[in-house]
Structure 1
Amino acid sequence: MPRPKKPRFVSGYPTIAAFVPQGVPITGEVMLSVEELEAIRLSDFEHLDQESAANLMQVSRQTYGRILFTARGIVGEALVTGKALKIAGGDYTMRRGGRRHRGRGRRGRMGGQE
């Protein structure tokens, strides 16, 4: 039996829940979890190194690297293929003492297109 996932710490719930391409037909949708968005925010927006970002999320550097790799793949898929990008779910805890949210398992590609 696999060991349970530790929750990842995030700074807050995103104010934007989805990005949808304009001017082209939507070819499906992909889901980005809240902790995957947090990994992108810390590395690509805040320009933190992986060790510092992993400490903020209270995960190992290797786990952070896996989260970031997966997140960038999901965002890349949405941009290249014209899929809607929805942000929701995951297994995270708010860093500032907010509520904990338990996810519904892995939310990768959706919309019936693998």
Structure 2
Amino acid sequence: MINYKTYLVFLFGSLAFSIGIQLLASYLNWPPFSGVAIALAVFIIFPLVLRNRSLKRMGGMGSDTGAGGGGGFFGQSQGVKYICLACNNRYKGGMCPRCGSKMKRADF
């Protein structure tokens, strides 16, 4: 979950930075749309940095710890296991090894 206070700090910080860049660009007589291009780049890059920081904090993709990541939405994937509807046996595969039934439900 993104901390909204941090998000607002980043948002207003990027807004102040982009206004400052535009004022600096007009003062230094840079090409007309260079300040706008830099401001758009800042508005694109800052949310990405914030997202990566929050993902690292949660242990998701891009973390340096090695825990998490690489497993999709629910963390590391262990494969799908099934529970037989006839005998409640938990197994992997197509048919229950205990009773031979093909009626099953997925267990995540």
Q: TM-score range by the shorter chain?
A: under 0.3
TM-score calculated relative to the size of structure 2: 0.27
The answer to which structure, 1 or 2, has the higher relative contact order (CA under 8 A, 6+ apart) is 1
Structure whose alpha-carbon radius of gyration is higher: 2
